[in-house]
């Protein structure tokens, strides 16, 4: 195609797409990527004729993709009600579970339809249709013809649709989805919850996900960058430039030697800028494919230069430095947004975790989104990329076990090929607490899946999160893994270290401490599966599950055992579904495990982890709040989470004594605790000391009066005018002296005007049945979070929050280009 035709093609393509509402378009020389964001029609139900181009969808709901149809509710305990004994929880007798999958209407069939126009394409063009995730069992039709299907809702997949495109220009894409009951252990979401893209390229081109970049030799002065590129065609020449992110070329490689369908070469980098959580430096490989000196394709691939090692008795090293994972597990839902992927929501999560000192993420128990991996590359998080929660043996009736035998290899290949260039990924997981741990066949499957990972990516090790540790010690399951991952079972760490040949242990899932933000229960004591009449858990951080423990127990092993490689805490944020310990109690419908609540507001536990993990910032946090009308004169223990080893507590100026961290118990080692404080309203103050006894920091909290005024605190005041950017505004109330009211439950109302819209609201209460998309909600423990979304025009966005008897508050945000 000559330059004149190329320019004409681009202009025609852009005009055609704008006419039908395509909002994202990337045009590079010889390759065009289109995001099918707008112009989608959606209808829940069977609609058996909806695949036909002539089908009348005029009365269907118009939506944008990514889209989660179920997050709009309502909550209903009859949805996916399961009679089940949860083996992972040690249950032997089945009982009714009403909130296990979030009590949101994700069960059932639905259709999505989209009509798009492509200009007449050159006969040498190829068109790829890419789905980054579809929940679930998608069947895809184009112009009335079924072009393919894919069973696993968490995977990425694509089809070559070149021969199925309409010759007349307009194309009708229809996608059928089906979520079966009892197909998940948590809220899986529903719909086209990740992006859908069209890729137009030349027939002679670089294969989809065909670039594989590794750095097999890394020093401070020199790195070897190995690049393998799969190509389609003969007589080709590949030139790859390594650039910084500003496009400055650092070095280049060139080859026309094709072995099979692959071109490989090594490019040296002098004085490389290494990737790590502390220095997330990135490069770009710009691969240019030529045929007979004509440029036919360009693919840009971000990567990082880093070295990972796993050694017996040493554990994990990154760039030659031994370190332990300070990690958290994350489910894929984004609280009030459901599972619909949103980059700004993901970034907010990661920045909150970064401040806590987290340096690693485990995707649980599913394949991660591209956006999450891109952000982890950019912000500096190591990543444990997980694949499945089930193999051949079921945990739920209609789970992945139905597809395991036929699909597992292709699912893994897509995961690996699509994501293996991300420097953040330092480990793969082929499964989590799979029931196959028990059997000899399961040992064979563990080895088989690990070999698939090694074949497709020889550079990273593989783990499985094991909960049946005694069994895996006996049958060899744990011994075949690159990395034995232990989910809980702290009492078996020593046995596992002695008997497993790897000579190190990963805490692949730890703690499962439960708490409700701002809720405190008395007496204060350690307890497993403790329940209360209000279906909340105490934020003294001493309550846990029957199979798990409090954070301090893990801290001891992390600090005292060099062969323990670190931990991934369950979980960084609360998520929809799995409301343990209230699985059988309605209206509990979301988890209590989170270090942050469902709205993303840190719980007290956040500061316990921060005091250990964030070495750059000071931590000094007091709990509980100091509003206890009716408890005057009663013992109300006070805890302080701090990176300082000692502190003195004062109640209304009277000293309660100095506490110093010690080894009397795990709690005394990591927390400062005054167990005999008697409540009296007023001021609670703490002064922290350094190792020499010098005062270094102080903090106080006060008893608040009645709620008087609303306070708004946005995480950002400028939004991109792209129709999807978000500002998360924390809403609280204060008394007439400006003191926060920690027990307020006022009903608030939200109004957004200008160049944006009200997107959602969440208060973090795991028992609330108020819908996230309605512009009203009660405060929970004095706070909630409002999500304001930009439109596609620049200008001011006004948020006004009101409540009966409260002084209202207004916030002005700005949508910018």
Over residues 27-66, the pLDDT tens digits come to 555 899 999 999 999 999 999 999 999 999 999 999 999 9
User: Are both 110 and 244 inside the same structural domain?
Assistant: no
- DSSP letter for each residue of 549-597: --HHHHHHHHHH-TTEEEEEEE-SB--BS--TT-TTSTT--B-S--SB-
Task: Retrieve residue 563's tokens.
Answer: 């062969």
User: Are both 342 and 217 inside the same structural domain?
Assistant: no
- Residue 168's pLDDT band, with cuts at 50, 70 and 90, is confident
- Residue 417's pLDDT band, with cuts at 50, 70 and 90, is very high
Instruction: Measure Cα distances from 40 to 260, 354, 386 in Å.
Output: 41, 36, 31
User: Are both 191 and 245 inside the same structural domain?
Assistant: no
pLDDT recorded at residue 29: 59
pLDDT recorded at residue 28: 53
User: Are both 96 and 168 inside the same structural domain?
Assistant: yes
What pTM was estimated for this model as a whole?
0.96
- Residue 91's pLDDT band, with cuts at 50, 70 and 90, is confident
Q: Domain tally for the chain?
A: 5
| Closest by CA position to 657, among listed 642, 677, 641 | 677
Q: What is the CATH number of the domain that holds 130?
A: 2.60.120.260
User: Are both 269 and 361 inside the same structural domain?
Assistant: no
Q: What is the CATH number of the domain that holds 552?
A: 3.20.20.80
For 497, the enclosing helix (H) or strand (E) is helix 493-499
Average pLDDT value for residue range 485-507:
97
Point out the least confidently predicted range of 11-20, 390-399, 774-783.
11-20
193-222 confidence digits (pLDDT tens): 999 999 999 999 999 999 999 999 999 999
**Residues with Cβ within 8 Å of residue 271, at least 6 apart in sequence:** 220, 221, 222
User: Are both 491 and 571 inside the same structural domain?
Assistant: yes
d(CA 324, CA 317): 8
Residue 569 CA, chain-centre distance (Å), reads 13
pLDDT recorded at residue 518: 98
| Closest by CA position to 519, among listed 763, 217, 263, 352 | 763
| Backbone φ, ψ for residue 343 (5° rounding) | -65, -40
Residue 529 lies in a domain: no
Average pLDDT value for residue range 753-768:
98
pLDDT recorded at residue 90: 75
Residue 612 lies in a domain: no
| CA neighbours closer than 13 Å in the CB half-sphere of residue 740 | 18
- Residue 85's pLDDT band, with cuts at 50, 70 and 90, is confident
Average pLDDT value for residue range 259-274:
97
pLDDT recorded at residue 16: 46
365, pLDDT greater than 60: yes
User: Are both 197 and 209 inside the same structural domain?
Assistant: no
> Final residue of a domain: which of 675, 702, 729?
702
Q: Is the dihedral of CA 486, 491, 496, 498 positive or negative?
A: positive
> Final residue of a domain: which of 173, 202, 231?
202
- The residue among 15 and 699 whose pLDDT is bigger is 699
622-632 confidence digits (pLDDT tens): 999 999 999 99
Average pLDDT value for residue range 261-284:
97
* Torsion region of 368: left, alpha or beta (phi above 0 gives left; psi -120 to 50 gives alpha): beta
Residue 56 lies in a domain: yes
> Final residue of a domain: which of 575, 594, 629?
575
Average pLDDT value for residue range 287-302:
96
Four-point Cα dihedral 635, 641, 646, 651, nearest 10: -40
User: Are both 779 and 800 inside the same structural domain?
Assistant: yes
Residue 69 lies in a domain: yes
pLDDT recorded at residue 4: 43
**Active site residue ranges:** 433, 509
For 350, the enclosing helix (H) or strand (E) is helix 343-356
User: Are both 144 and 20 inside the same structural domain?
Assistant: yes
d(CA 409, CA 456): 11
Residue 490 lies in a domain: yes
Residue 319 lies in a domain: no
Residue 20 lies in a domain: yes
Count of beta carbons in the 10 Å neighbourhood of residue 690? 12
User: Are both 167 and 284 inside the same structural domain?
Assistant: no
241, pLDDT greater than 50: yes
Q: Which domain does 128 fall in, by range?
A: 3-202
Q: What is the CATH number of the domain that holds 761?
A: 2.60.40.10
| Closest by CA position to 728, among listed 707, 754, 758, 755 | 758
d(CA 662, CA 659): 9
Instruction: Measure Cα distances from 506 to 335, 413, 428, 485, 726 in Å.
Output: 28, 25, 13, 5, 36
User: Are both 374 and 242 inside the same structural domain?
Assistant: no
d(CA 147, CA 158): 10
Task: Retrieve residue 657's tokens.
Answer: 């004594």
User: Are both 675 and 551 inside the same structural domain?
Assistant: no
Average pLDDT, the chain: 95
- Residue 5's pLDDT band, with cuts at 50, 70 and 90, is very low
d(CA 4, CA 352): 50
485, pLDDT greater than 70: yes
Q: What is the Cα gyration radius of the chain?
A: 27
Sheet holding 809-816, edge to edge: 718-720, 809-816, 795-803, 747-754, 776-778
Percentage of the chain beyond pLDDT 70 is 96
| CA neighbours closer than 13 Å in the CB half-sphere of residue 602 | 17
């Amino acid at each position: 195609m000559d330059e004149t035709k190329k320019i004409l093609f681009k202009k025609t393509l852009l005009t055609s797409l704008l006419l039908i509402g395509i909002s994202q378009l990337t045009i590079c020389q010889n390759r065009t990527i289109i995001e099918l964001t707008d112009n989608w029609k959606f209808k829940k139900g069977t609609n058996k004729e909806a695949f036909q181009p002539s089908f009348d969808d005029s009365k269907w709901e118009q939506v944008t993709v990514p889209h989660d149809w179920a997050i709009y509710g309502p909550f209903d305990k009859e949805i996916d009600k399961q009679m089940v004994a949860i083996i992972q929880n040690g249950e032997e007798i089945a009982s009714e579970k009403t909130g296990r999958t979030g009590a949101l209407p994700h069960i059932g069939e639905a259709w999505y339809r989209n009509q798009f126009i492509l200009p007449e394409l050159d006969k040498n063009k190829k068109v790829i249709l890419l789905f980054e995730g579809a929940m679930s069992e998608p069947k895809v039709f184009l112009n009335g013809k079924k072009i393919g299907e894919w069973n696993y809702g968490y995977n990425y997949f694509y089809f070559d649709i070149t021969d199925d495109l309409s010759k007349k220009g307009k194309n009708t894409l229809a996608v059928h989805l089906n979520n079966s009951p009892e197909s998940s252990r948590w809220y899986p979401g529903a719909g086209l919850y990740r992006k859908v893209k069209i890729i137009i390229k030349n027939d002679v081109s670089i294969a989809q996900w065909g670039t594989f970049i590794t750095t097999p030799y890394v020093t401070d002065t020199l790195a070897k960058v190995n690049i393998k590129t799969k190509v389609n065609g003969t007589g080709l020449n590949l030139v790859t430039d390594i650039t910084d992110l500003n496009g400055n070329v650092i070095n280049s490689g060139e080859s026309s030697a094709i072995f099979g369908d692959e071109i490989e070469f090594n490019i040296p980098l002098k004085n490389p800028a290494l990737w790590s959580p502390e220095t997330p430096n990135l490069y770009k490989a710009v691969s240019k494919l030529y045929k007979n000196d004509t440029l036919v394709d360009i693919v840009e691939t971000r990567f990082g230069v880093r070295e990972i090692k796993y050694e017996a008795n040493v554990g994990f090293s990154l760039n030659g430095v031994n370190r332990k994972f300070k990690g958290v597990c994350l489910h894929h839902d984004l609280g009030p947004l459901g599972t619909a992927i949103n980059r700004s929501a993901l970034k907010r999560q990661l920045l909150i975790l970064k401040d806590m000192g987290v340096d690693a993420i485990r995707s649980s128990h599913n394949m991660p989104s591209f956006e999450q991996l891109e952000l982890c590359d950019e912000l500096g998080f190591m990543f444990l990329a997980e694949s499945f929660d089930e193999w051949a043996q079921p945990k739920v009736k209609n789970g992945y076990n139905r597809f395991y035998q036929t699909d597992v290899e292709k699912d893994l290949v897509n995961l690996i090929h699509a994501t293996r260039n991300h420097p953040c990924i330092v480990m793969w997981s082929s499964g989590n607490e799979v029931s196959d741990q028990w059997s000899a066949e399961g040992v064979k499957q563990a080895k088989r899946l690990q070999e698939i990972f090694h074949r497709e990516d020889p550079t990273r090790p593989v783990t499985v999160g094991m909960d049946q540790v005694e069994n895996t010690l006996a049958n060899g399951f744990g011994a075949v893994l690159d990395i034995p991952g232990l989910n809980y079972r702290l009492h078996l760490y020593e046995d596992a270290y002695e008997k497993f040949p790897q000579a190190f242990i990963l805490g692949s899932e730890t703690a499962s401490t439960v708490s409700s933000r701002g809720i405190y229960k008395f007496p204060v004591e350690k307890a497993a599966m403790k329940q209360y009449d209000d279906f909340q858990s105490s934020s003294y951080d001493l309550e846990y599950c029957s199979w798990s423990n409090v954070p301090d127990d893990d801290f001891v092993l992390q600090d005292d055992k060099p062969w323990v490689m670190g931990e991934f805490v369950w979980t960084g944020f609360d998520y929809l579904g799995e409301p343990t310990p209230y699985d059988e109690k309605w209206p509990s419908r979301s988890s209590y495990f989170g270090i942050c609540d469902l709205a993303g507001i840190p719980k007290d536990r956040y500061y316990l982890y921060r005091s250990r993990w964030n070495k750059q910032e000071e931590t000094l946090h007091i709990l509980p709040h100091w509003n206890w009308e009716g408890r005057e004169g009663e013992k109300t223990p006070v805890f302080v989470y701090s990176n300082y080893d000692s502190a003195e507590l004062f109640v209304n100026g009277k000293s309660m004594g100095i506490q110093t961290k010690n080894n009397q118990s795990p709690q005394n080692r990591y927390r400062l605790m005054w167990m005999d404080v008697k409540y009296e309203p007023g001021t609670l103050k703490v002064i922290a000391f350094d190792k020499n006894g010098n005062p270094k920091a102080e903090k106080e909290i006060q008893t608040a009066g009645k709620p008087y005024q609303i306070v708004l605190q946005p995480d950002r005041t400028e939004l991109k005018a792209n129709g999807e950017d978000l500002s998360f505004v924390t809403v609280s109330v204060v008394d007439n002296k400006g003191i926060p009211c920690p027990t307020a439950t006022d009903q608030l109302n939200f109004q957004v005007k200008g160049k944006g819209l009200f997107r959602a609201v969440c208060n973090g209460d795991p028992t609330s049945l108020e819908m996230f998309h309605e512009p009203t909600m009660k405060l929970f423990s004095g706070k909630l979070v409002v999500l304001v979304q930009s439109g596609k025009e620049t200008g001011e966005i006004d948020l006004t929050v009101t409540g009966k008897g409260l002084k209202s508050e207004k916030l002005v945000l700005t949508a910018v280009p």
